[in-house]
Amino acid sequence: MSLKSEPFTPAECYADTAYRADSIPEQSYAPQNDMLRGRILEARLPWGSYLHLNPTIYQYSASWFREYKYIDKDYHDYTMINERRWSQHVVENLGSLYRVFRFLIFLYSHGFSLILPGGEGRAGGGVFFSVITAVCTILFVFAADTLLQAFTPLAIMLSICSLATVILFFWEKNELKFYKRNRNWTEELAFCRSTGMVNTPGGKLFFYEFDAYIEMTIGAQASQFYSLKVIHRYPHRSQQPHTKDPLEFNFTVDGSIAQLYAMWDMLQRYMDVSQPLPDVPQLEPFRHLDPTTKAYDEAGKRGRPATYWRDLYANSSDEELKALREAHRAEVDATAWGGRPDLMELSVPNYRETRKGEPEDVNDFGRFPWKTGKFVDRPEATPSVGSTDHPQDDTPR
């Protein structure tokens, strides 16, 4: 892959430590991580073997275009993800009083509004409070001296909820104005594509030293919740200061277990400089700034206009975007995510022995309780032709 106008070599565009799936260095044995005992880590997701599907929450972001239009030329630095880093930390230069005031306004407007956030017309908490007050008013009518006295509590409640609804409307319309001047996504805690490093509170660590797990937590009434945890494999070099908790990152998606697999697929491709940036709306404005992606697009391999996502959101109705979102969700859920080898087995000597199984049916995992206990061995990974593994010093840093 090469640029049409100005050829480049990866060494000139990315740091020597940049991550490439076809050249993961040899590493030391994976130790028993005692910090993870007692947690329900159902499955460890495989390295490599990309299926090139992004989670629906990123592929069809509900808020992306509104942020893009408002932030405009500052979007590169104010967005969570750009061509350099996928930030995990936002710094707000705010006073404590402002934070408390903003939280109270948010709590009031979202808790007492007659409609739920999102503008879909669903009843909010204000309806519940108003109905309760209305029922009490009916009972109070017979004890009150006048009708005005009887209906005063209901009128006050309706006024409170109506004001909350108005504030919610303006909040959703102008919420970025509350944040833009104070919001600053940083590289202090981030996955950095150009360097292949993960910036953490304890220093910089190689991306390939992290593993992705599906963790299950038990909620009320024995309900099960699943999340994607990206956890550092070598805790002796990454124990968090002032705590014994493992170094980990949480990635949130909505929907099925398959969406978690898609999230890990997207994060790997984002960090892999041999791959173009994932083709999602948030990254489209920066594709020309990443050398690999620029070469990929200029070669016509993307197959889309440079402003595909911007034009789609500008010219599509909410109903059309919702239909596209649901179609993509169905595609992710129907994709066969299981049965793929794990490339990390070729770089970590005991990697396969530490956790080699995966759900027998990834797509049904977590959906049907009687299937969640069935695990099978992954296919063994085999070296690819031309792979260039280099030993890596694993001494504590």
Q: Residue 55: left if φ>0, alpha if ψ -120 to 50, beta else—which one?
A: beta
Q: Are the beta carbons of 360 and 375 closer than 8 angstroms?
A: yes
| CA–CA separation, 11 and 195 (whole Å) | 11
Token output for 324: 């596209």
Give the residue ranges of the chain where pLDDT is below 70: 1-12, 33-35, 37-38, 92-95, 118-121, 144, 173-183, 219-223, 239-244, 356, 366-373, 384-397
What is the predicted pLDDT for the residue at 221?
64
Angle CA 232–32–234, to nearest 5? 25
Residues 278-300: tens digit of each pLDDT: 999 999 999 999 999 999 999 99
Angle at 352 between CA 263 and CA 255, to 5 degrees: 20
Beta-carbon contacts of 110 under 8 Å, excluding residues fewer than 6 positions away, are 117, 124, 125, 168
Dihedral of alpha carbons 47, 20, 274, 199, sign:
positive
Amino acid symbol at 20: R
Position 9 scores a pLDDT of 47
pLDDT in tens, 55-87: 999 999 888 887 787 777 778 878 889 999 999
Instruction: Report the alpha-carbon distance of residue 312 to residue 40 in Å, rounded.
Output: 41
Return the pLDDT at 25: 93
**Cα–Cα separations (whole angstroms), residue 261 to 42, 64, 218, 368:** 13, 22, 20, 18
Q: Is 55 exposed, middle or buried (0-12, 13-18, 19+ CB in 10 A)?
A: buried
Q: What are the C-alpha distances in Å from 30 to residues 79, 183, 345, 369, 390?
A: 35, 38, 11, 31, 18
- Give SS3 for 213: strand
- Residue 150 pairs in a beta bridge with none
Residue 294, pLDDT score:
95
